[in-house]
A = this chain, B = another copy of it.
Amino acid sequence: MPFDKTSDRTIFTQRESEARSYCRGFPTIFTEARGSELFDAEGNRYIDFLAGCSSLNYGHNDPDMKKALIDHLTGDKLGHALDFHTDTKAEFLTTFQDKILAPRGMDHKLMFIGPTGTNAVEAAMKIARKATGRTNIIAFTNGFHGVTMGALAATGNGYHRGGAGMPTQGVTRLPFDQYANGVDSVALLDQMLSDASGGVDAPAAIMLETVQGEGGLNAASAEFVRGVEKVARKHGALFIIDDIQAGCGRTGTFFSFEEMGVSPDLVPMAKSVSGMGLPLALVLVRPEYDVMGPAEHNGTFRGNTHAFLTATVAINKFWSDDSFQRKLADRAMMLTTALDEVSGMVEGAFLKGRGLMQGVDVGSGELAERICKRCFENGLVIETSGSEDQVVKVLAPLTTPDEIFREGLNILISATREITANK
């Protein structure tokens, strides 16, 4: 091994682009990971409250997924398979259909695209445009949908938008739920679309996240989501719910929207869909909008068979009955209680989010960053989100055992106490 893995991070500063980011907040070299725990080269243990930004909802190296993958490799099953038919993919499709779609009364088709969330969003936007013959897509303040040019147009974050080096196009931005004092966001949306001189072109789609993960854990009310769907139907637009970060159980149910009484036409998914953090993304497409022709939207890594395999294991293990979902409800309550304590220590702070996707708005990015830094020193990996990075965000694996969850929350509480005491 050509470097001292315990401490030498020179190769990263020397050879990796400045675009690297998370590693800056967690300056160590990680070597192992099990469930909700990370270990570094110096033997330190960390509790993981970031979970690959919600890509590791079932934790690191789940033993069942791991075993299945080792068997798969041992048996020379296909790894990369383009979009060939494979037995592994057939099992995934069947499992997803039987355990996820059917019980929820959904008959969407699965469209596999390049294995990134942004690619799923791009595909959904293209489908909406092709299906309607319209161009405009409505997205909301503080939404985050990716950074490739099509999806970036829908992303609110100015830093990411600036990275494009040119104006984006094809998206109109309107206020999200409860965005502005006194503004009924659904009513405004409907008015601008209904007004023949409102200046908002007839939309191909309206797209939202039910909880804006990067935008600061802004949780939309069911009423808002239903209202937006109704406006979309009224104006002939497709209704897209980007469930990339909030889906796969993160808010307490498999889909973030399933208790809201809505039926999105398109659902981009990624992050935890593979169960193990392997790259996989897909778009759920109502059959009547399955308008992309063969390879019209294509990509080399659409057939990441390893990911289909572990995704199948994940669904079978966690979503065959409602026991996991019930456990999530308990953990969400535990989280709320702890965050209330955190919030109580900071003047003006308040809770954000929903389910296992909650956090505390502490009022400034600087304070949030100091809290997270202290947490890391004390063995907890945790990050911020929001326009000003002012929200301390808990994205623990959904499978975190209670004692580890409690331990992590205690680190967060203590860190906040220490930081605010020093203030």
Contact = CB atoms under 8 A, between A and B. Distances in A.
Q: Which of A1, A69, A113, A277 has the most CB of B within 10 A?
A: A277
B175 A180 contact: no
A297 B147 contact: yes
Given A29-B90, A76-B33, A292-B19, A85 B12 contact: yes
Contact of A52 (B1, B23, B82, B93): B82
Contacts of A181: 184, 187
A400 to B, nearest CB: 16
Tallying the copies of this chain within the complex gives: 4
A152 B198 CA distance: 13
Given A149-B149, A197-B215, A204 B165 contact: yes
A86 B30 contact: yes
A140 B139 CA distance: 18
Contact of A293 (B87, B140, B146, B159): B159
Interface in A182-215: 182-184, 187-188, 191-192, 195-202, 204, 214-215
A285 B16 CA distance: 9
A288 to B, nearest CB: 12
**Chain A to chain B: the 7 pairs with minimum beta-carbon distance, closest first:** A80-B277, A129-B165, A149-B150, A156-B199, A17-B111, A21-B295, A114-B116
Q: Which of A38, A126, A142, A291 has the most CB of B within 10 A?
A: A126
A91 B84 CA distance: 32
A191 B185 CA distance: 14
Contacts of A162: 296
A292 B184 CA distance: 37
A348 interface: no
Contact of A163 (B93, B130, B164, B167): B130
Contacts of A156: 195, 197-199
Interface residues of A, number: 161
A18 interface: yes
Interface string A112-147: 111111110010011011100101100111111011
Given A15-B97, A30-B78, A163-B293, 5 more contacts: A11-B94, A15-B109, A29-B87, A52-B80, A116-B300
Interface string A281-300: 00101000011111111111
Given A12-B90, A164-B126, A197 B82 contact: no
Q: Which of A86, A151, A188, A300 has the most CB of B within 10 A?
A: A300
A77 B293 CA distance: 40
